[in-house]
Chain A
């Protein structure tokens, strides 16, 4: 990639990734409100907003973060499988995206229930607590990914060492 394109790709990746983290944090706040609020209107609003946020913000941002991350790694010398920190970030992103898509069903279900009836503090408590737990874990996972992005801890994979040897041989010719 040209330097200009690299910067653009980097800006896009940072924007989508940190935006994803922020949106998930907002989602966490909504799940906590849905679980703990004593006001029926607030609980209803929280789950409706959670579904809207998940479908229209969190999912697109997660997919955009994954895509721009792939472009960043494959379009630069970092590569996708050469450095452990990139591999871990990829795993975190892919896993978080898959789990998000799987849990959309539960989120939509809670939104449908909340829209149709006033939830008491004990209704669907297990599911509501689980939404809080999953949102918390998602925030944690994305914080780990962000930390890896900044620190870029040392460590090349076997594939990375192999590619590096290849490049050195080529540069000597």
Chain B
């Protein structure tokens, strides 16, 4: 990164890859938030809060 001079860029419009990345990121964040708010994480209860009791023998 430090050995290259930053390029000028061709024009002021937002590149397509940025829009695609942005959409993907937004979808992932929304999915994450919805799943955690509804408690419907794919594999059970919220993962960062340890469960109170779960099948420990």
Contact = CB atoms under 8 A, between A and B. Distances in A.
Contacts of A7: 2-3
Highest count of chain B CB atoms <10 Å: which of A76, A103, A134: A76
Contacts of A113: 56
Contact of A103 (B4, B12, B47): B47
A149 B1 contact: yes
Contact size class for A?
35 or more
Contacts of A164: 8
Nearest to A129: B43
A130 B47 contact: yes
A77 interface: yes
Majority secondary structure of chain B interface residues (helix, strand, loop or mixed): loop
Majority secondary structure of chain A interface residues (helix, strand, loop or mixed): helix
A105 interface: yes
Interface string B7-18: 111101011011
Given A106-B50, A125-B43, A131-B47, A154 B57 contact: no
Given A120-B57, A156-B9, A72 B15 contact: no
Interface residues of B, number: 31
Contact of B48 (A91, A102, A126, A152): A102
Interface of A: 1, 6-7, 9-10, 13, 72, 76-78, 82-84, 88, 91, 102-103, 105-106, 109, 113, 117-118, 120, 122-127, 129-131, 133-134, 149, 152-156, 158, 160-161, 164
10 closest residue pairs by CB, A with B: A126-B44, A109-B50, A130-B47, A155-B15, A6-B2, A129-B43, A126-B43, A156-B9, A10-B2, A84-B18
Given A10-B3, A102-B48, 13 more contacts: A9-B2, A77-B5, A78-B6, A84-B15, A88-B21, A103-B47, A105-B50, A109-B50, A123-B56, A133-B43, A154-B9, A161-B12, A164-B8
23 contacts: A7-B2, A9-B2, A10-B1, A103-B47, A103-B48, A105-B50, A106-B48, A113-B56, A117-B56, A117-B57, A120-B57, A125-B44, A126-B41, A126-B43, A126-B44, A129-B44, A130-B43, A130-B44, A133-B43, A134-B47, A152-B4, A156-B12, A158-B12
